[in-house]
């Protein structure tokens, strides 16, 4: 039986059961200079500490689904070893490539020289087969970060790992113990073949398209004319309201620290301890919604930067983001770490427990969400929002006012609250929709999370502990639109793929505002290498320092950038296949003429 017919024809619940039989993980591996100490979790993921490291990129057999496949690993481990550094230390990493293909490692979110950033074709040539590269840079920050390949699809195949940088000064919170919680997605398919499949059939994993029965249900609720009008609006865009994610649990097995759900990765605690959990979304394509039933979480850092503590029950973590939370488990011997994908097709799973071998009840997946026209920036086109999936408030002209400073490539609006679009989008066969009424929606928990009875983290609830580290008003504004064509699986900025677009040129030392407008129906986590992205609130005030900014469908978000890093940098969507399909730009920071 072919992989194609097996993965599509199998009953989803049966497939999840089969996947759950395998704990998963490397069948062979080794670590260099492993470190364990009081208060640090002991799991099968090696941890290396110090300032000098020897890392080897190679292939290792793994089994997550009952079938052995080759993963791309570091020192034989999936995930790659946790690297623990100290702020202020000079870090040296000798990375050997034992693959047949060129490789690389990018240190995600770290501020370092361009030639150490690890992006082939921009900051260096890459690491040839049989060759090595010496990374050497100072750890100028502290917090939770991660590293991954920036070559081909090696990240999807397993080349990712956690970085923990101990602060020079004590953190503004106390904890007794900590665990790294790295979430990821695994496929038995060759990742390049998966990309080709997406180009041929982008809706392959969308098993929940509207049916004739759904149309009859909507007609009884809203009236036949309204139901037909909504169905026709979706048909004109060649989209469906169930297009939540491109690839989901029908293809992926979701992992927590390299362990499938039945493997029951366990982090230990003693009752009454404050436990710091360092969450990292190291997936290729998955947004996770995370909760620990029975425990409140206090968020203390986002993307490695301290924030004012926020008490929550649940959070959505976009691909490439990190969040540090503190929990105080007591009253039970075990608690479930539950991370369901945003499309509600599967989950990653782990346990916090007083000893190994325990497991708490596993929640059921939440109901599958459905997009509305409001969700995609088409306010007013819905006759009614879907039951249980209410749309956020419609954007107004006032919500756009702050983004028009300094003159980007296009006006932010025409005064009516309607979004303007760059000329390169018009008549473009690779652009299938344009959002019209948008706002930042910083207080919106997101589709599938609204009104669920739990306190859900939002960007609007997070505020950096320190103020604006630059203090200057931006001297200019650059506006970019996130664009795509769902059927063709083509993704871009302003309708222009990476190879067709000129670099975005910044002058060294300048302060500018970047405005991102999402014209697609998908969320996009946007990552600017080498510099911080200082997210603004709806009034244009500094709010939150990040290295990856999530831009949900139907939103317009802005952040400030200080161009303080000379060189050539990548700027891209961190959904791996979106980046590969064209949603990437080069940023050049140059001395003034």
pLDDT at 372: 76
Instruction: Tell me whether the omega of the peptide bond preceding residue 95 falls within 30 degrees of 0, making it cis.
Output: no
Q: Does domain 374-382+388-590 have CATH number 2.60.40.420?
A: yes
Bridging pattern class, strands 143-148 and 476-485: unpaired
Residue 461 token pair: 């609830």
Closest CA to 104 of 160, 149, 48: 149
Q: How far apart are CA 428 and CA 68, in angstroms?
A: 43
pLDDT reported for residue 236: 57
CATH fold label, 3-174: Immunoglobulin-like (2.60.40)
| End-to-end C-alpha distance for the chain, whole angstroms | 63
State the DSSP string of 422-473. Answer: -GGGTT-TT------S-B--TT---TTTTTSSS-B--GGG--BSS--SS-PP
Residue 566 is given by DSSP the state -
Check residue 208 and give its pLDDT: 62
Q: Which two tokens stand for residue 32?
A: 């260099």
Which residue, 179, 198, 178, is CA-closest to 189? Answer: 198
Within 85-190, residue ranges assigned H as helices are none
Give me the pLDDT at residue 35, please. 38
Q: Please report the pLDDT score of residue 5 as a whole number.
A: 29
pTM of the predicted model, to two decimals? 0.86
State phi, psi for 141 to the nearest 5 degrees.
Answer: -150, 180
Look at residue 219 in the predicted model and tell me its pLDDT: 56
Q: Which residues of the chain have pLDDT under 70?
A: 1-43, 207-220, 224, 226-242, 373, 376-417
In whole angstroms, what is the distance from residue 207 CA to residue 213 CA?
15
Q: Which of 275, 267, 276 is nearest to 324 (CA)?
A: 276
Spell out the residues 6+ positions from residue 250 whose beta carbon is closer than 8 angstroms to its own. 7, 8, 12, 15, 205, 207, 345
The domain segmentation of the chain, as residue ranges, is: 3-174, 374-382+388-590
HSE-CB for 408 with a 13 A CA cutoff: 27
pLDDT of residue 230: 64
Question: Quick count: other Cβ atoms within 10 Å of Cβ 118?
Answer: 29
- Asked whether this chain's domains 3-174 and 374-382+388-590 adopt the same fold, the reply is yes
């Amino acid at each position: 039986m072919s992989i194609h017919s097996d993965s599509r024809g199998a009953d989803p619940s049966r497939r999840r059961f089969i996947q759950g039989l395998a704990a998963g993980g490397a069948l062979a591996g080794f670590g260099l200079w492993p470190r364990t100490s009081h208060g640090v979790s002991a799991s099968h993921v090696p941890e290396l500490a110090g300032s000098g490291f020897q890392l080897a990129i190679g292939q290792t057999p793994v089994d997550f689904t009952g079938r052995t496949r080759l993963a791309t690993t570091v020192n034989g481990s999936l995930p790659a070893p946790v690297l623990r550094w100290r702020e202020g230390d000079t870090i040296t990493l000798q990375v050997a490539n034992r693959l047949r293909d060129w490789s690389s490692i990018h240190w995600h979110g770290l501020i370092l020289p361009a030639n150490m950033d690890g992006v082939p074709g921009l900051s260096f040539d890459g690491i040839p087969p049989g060759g090595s590269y010496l990374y050497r840079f100072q750890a100028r920050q502290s917090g939770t970060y991660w590293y991954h390949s920036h070559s081909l699809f090696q990240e999807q195949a397993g080349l990712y790992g956690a970085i923990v940088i101990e602060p020079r000064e004590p953190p503004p919170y106390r904890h007794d113990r900590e665990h790294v919680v790295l979430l990821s997605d695994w496929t038995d398919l060759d990742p390049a073949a998966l990309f080709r499949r997406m180009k041929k059939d982008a809706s392959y994993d969308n098993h929940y398209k509207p049916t004739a029965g759904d149309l009859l249900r909507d007609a009884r609720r809203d009236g036949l004319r309204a139901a037909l009008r909504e169905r026709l609006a979706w048909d004109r865009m060649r989209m469906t309201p169930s297009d939540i994610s491109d690839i989901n649990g029908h293809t992926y097995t979701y992992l927590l620290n390299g362990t499938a759900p039945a493997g029951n990765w366990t982090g230990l605690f003693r009752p009454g301890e404050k436990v710091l959990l360092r969450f990292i979304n190291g997936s290729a394509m998955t947004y996770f919604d995370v909760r620990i039933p029975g425990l409140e979480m206090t968020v203390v850092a986002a993307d490695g930067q301290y924030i004012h503590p926020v008490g929550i029950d649940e959070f959505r973590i976009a691909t490439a983001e990190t969040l540090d939370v503190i929990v105080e488990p007591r009253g039970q011997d075990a608690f479930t770490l539950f991370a369901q994908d945003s499309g509600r097709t599967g989950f990653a799973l782990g346990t916090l427990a007083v000893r190994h071998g325990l497991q708490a009840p596993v929640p059921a997946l939440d109901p599958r969400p459905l997009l509305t026209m409001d969700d995609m920036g088409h306010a007013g086109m819905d006759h009614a929002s879907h039951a249980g999936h209410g749309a956020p408030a419609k954007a107004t002209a006032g919500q756009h006012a702050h983004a028009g400073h300094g003159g980007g490539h296009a006006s932010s609006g025409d005064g009516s609250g309607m979004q303007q679009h760059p000329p390169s989008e018009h008549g473009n066969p690779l652009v299938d929709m344009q959002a019209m009424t948008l706002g930042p929606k910083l207080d919106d928990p997101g589709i599938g999370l609204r009104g669920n009875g739990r306190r859900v983290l939002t960007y609007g609830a997070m505020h950096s502990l320190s103020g604006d580290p630059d203090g200057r008003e931006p001297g200019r504004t650059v506006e970019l639109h996130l664009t795509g064509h769902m059927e063709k699986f083509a993704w871009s900025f302003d309708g222009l793929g990476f190879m067709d677009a000129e670099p975005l040129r910044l002058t060294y030392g300048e302060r500018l505002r970047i405005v991102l407008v999402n014209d697609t129906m998908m969320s996009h986590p946007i990552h600017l290498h080498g510099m911080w992205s200082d997210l603004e609130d709806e009034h244009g005030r500094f709010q939150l320092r990040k290295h990856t900014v999530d831009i949900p469908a139907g939103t317009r978000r802005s952040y400030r950038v200080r161009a303080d890093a000379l060189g050539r940098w990548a700027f891209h969507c961190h959904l791996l296949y979106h980046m590969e399909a064209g949603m990437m730009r080069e940023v050049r920071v140059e001395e003034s003429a």
